[in-house]
């Protein structure tokens, strides 16, 4: 399964499996070890609490010189995640550095769930809602979590 993979990816994968990040599982695909099935538990005290969110993470050929490609497969109501599951996160774009790891990316996404940032939106409609009526936005985020991310 790991044949022909760069040592860096093998080491990162082994560490992810041996020392998982709390609240996150990342399992490499049997067929393609550059492709990970990820599950992130909605952080406590966030509108996503009790939800389990499926993501896919792919390490491009250029990794670690270029960032992993990550997207949400589970629907989520969040100003930094669009309807296609794409994530607006600086380290996945211009702030990527080869010093970062899959682990760092997953922790950053988990942190984004705890602290949505409507000032750097990917979904403008959700961001506007978050800014103009945060209580209502959080309520919708909770409803979506219960609808799409419970026991999925």
Rounded distance between C-alpha atoms, residue 124 and residue 118, angstroms: 8
Indicate if 88 belongs to the active site.
yes
Strand order across the beta sheet in which 35-41 lies = 24-28, 35-41, 52-58, 69-72
Q: How far apart are the first and last CA of the chain?
A: 27
Q: Which residue has the tokens 């509108």?
A: 47
149: exposed, middle or buried (Cβ count in 10 Å: 0-12, 13-18, 19+)? buried
Structure tokens belonging to residue 37: 């099935």
The residue from 55, 57, 59, 88 that is catalytic is: 88
What element of type H or E holds 104?
helix 102-114
Name which of 43, 105, 45 is nearest 71 in CA terms: 105
**What is the number of residues in the chain?**
152
What is the set of active-site residues? 88
């Amino acid at each position: 399964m790991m044949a022909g993979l760069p040592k860096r990816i093998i080491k990162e994968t082994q560490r992810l499996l041996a020392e998982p990040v709390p609240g996150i599982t990342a399992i490499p695909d049997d067929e393609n070890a550059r492709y990970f099935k990820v599950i992130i538990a909605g952080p406590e005290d966030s509108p996503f609490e009790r939800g389990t969110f499926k993501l896919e993470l792919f390490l491009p050929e250029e990794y670690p010189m270029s960032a992993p490609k990550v997207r949400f497969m589970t629907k989520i109501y969040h100003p930094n995640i669009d309807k296609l599951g794409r994530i607006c996160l600086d380290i996945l774009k211009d702030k990527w550095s080869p010093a970062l790891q899959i682990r760092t990316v997953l922790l950053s996404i988990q942190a984004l769930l705890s602290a949505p940032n409507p000032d750097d939106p990917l979904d403008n409609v959700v961001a506007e809602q978050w800014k103009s009526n945060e209580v209502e936005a959080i309520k919708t985020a909770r409803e979506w979590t219960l609808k799409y991310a419970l026991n999925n």
